[in-house]
Structure 1
């Protein structure tokens, strides 16, 4: 499992267990992640948190591998 996926799993688990963290994560994801996990998300990376429900599902399209390869030198590339 990648470090990115591990962090993602930890964030989700904490949001399920800690209502205050979840509230802050939705309102200000970068600050919530920094406070809870000590991880600075670069300014070049935009983070949006949405919560699914039983009747609302979000399909996340990952970046096209060709686009990721072209942007490999950017500050945001490690977050792709």
Structure 2
């Protein structure tokens, strides 16, 4: 996991919690990583190559950014209850 969006590359994942409960509400995949620009592609409301800044700057959202090349083999993430 990273707190710097510039560490994200194509294929990395962001999870978004809209309501600050223990559950992740949305997942998107990084599909553009060019200089300081990071864009995502997602379903639910289908969007392709949308800048991630809108979710990073949204007050009240918690965003988890996952660098898949940094993933370890310690097992699945289990959120606290």
TM-score normalised according to structure 2 size: 0.29
The structure whose RCO (Cα within 8 Å, separation 6+) is larger is: 2
Instruction: Kindly indicate which of the two structures has a greater share of residues assigned to helix.
Output: 1
Instruction: Kindly indicate which of the two structures has a greater share of residues assigned to strand.
Output: 2
TM-score normalised according to structure 1 size: 0.29
